[in-house]
């Protein structure tokens, strides 16, 4: 199981590198954490690791943002916090994104839990009282 402590934002890039290296055969990452835990900020670091210079923001209202890396491969970033039902995920073409072999990062995967693919990487971000983030990850079976 992948497990790291992050004491400052300056450490995120290194942890993102470690995560991508640890799960190098995986393309779909579901990020779990409370509001303000740092999911979007961590995805920003992951996108940099993957070679994207795009401005990474949470797709809270659009549901999905697309970024590209230096080789013009797409990276998809989802935020399902505001969906009311799973049908909204299907309406945006969820399956086309998830099964195309490109990187997908999902915030608030709890909202679409029944339709998440198998063998994705579950990333858990927890903040303690001192502000230290605990980032752990595992393959979902």
Q: Express each pLDDT in 15-28 by its tens digit.
A: 999 999 999 999 99
Mean pLDDT, residues 47-61 = 92
- Above pLDDT 90, what percent of the chain? 89
Distance CA 136, CA 132 (A): 13
Two structure tokens written together for 41: 């900020």
Residue 60 has pLDDT above 90, yes or no: no
Cβ(6)–Cβ(133) below 8 Å? yes
pLDDT of residue 134: 97
Cβ(121)–Cβ(29) below 8 Å? yes
Is pTM beyond 0.85 here? yes
> Nearest 5°: CA angle at 111, between 110 and 116?
70
**Residue carrying structure tokens 């393309």:** 27
- 25 burial level (CB within 10 Å; 0-12, 13-18, 19+): exposed
- The structural domains of the chain, ordered by start, are 2-139 (3.40.50.300)
**What confidence tens digit (pLDDT) does each residue in 103-134 have?**
999 999 999 999 999 999 999 999 998 989 99
Cβ(50)–Cβ(20) below 8 Å? yes
């Amino acid at each position: 199981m992948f497990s790291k402590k992050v004491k400052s934002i300056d450490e995120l890039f290194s942890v993102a590198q470690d995560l991508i290296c640890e799960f190098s055969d995986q393309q779909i990452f579901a990020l779990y954490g409370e509001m303000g835990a740092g999911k979007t900020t961590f995805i920003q670091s992951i996108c940099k690791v993957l070679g994207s210079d795009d401005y990474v923001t949470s797709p809270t209202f659009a549901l999905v943002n697309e970024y590209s890396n230096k080789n013009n491969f797409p990276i998809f970033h989802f935020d399902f916090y505001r969906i009311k039902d799973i049908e909204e995920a299907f309406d945006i073409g969820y399956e086309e994104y998830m099964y195309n072999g490109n990187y997908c990062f999902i915030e608030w995967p709890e909202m679409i839990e029944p339709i998440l693919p198998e063998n994705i990487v579950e990333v858990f971000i927890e903040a303690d009282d001192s502000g230290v983030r605990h980032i752990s990850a595992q393959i979902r079976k």
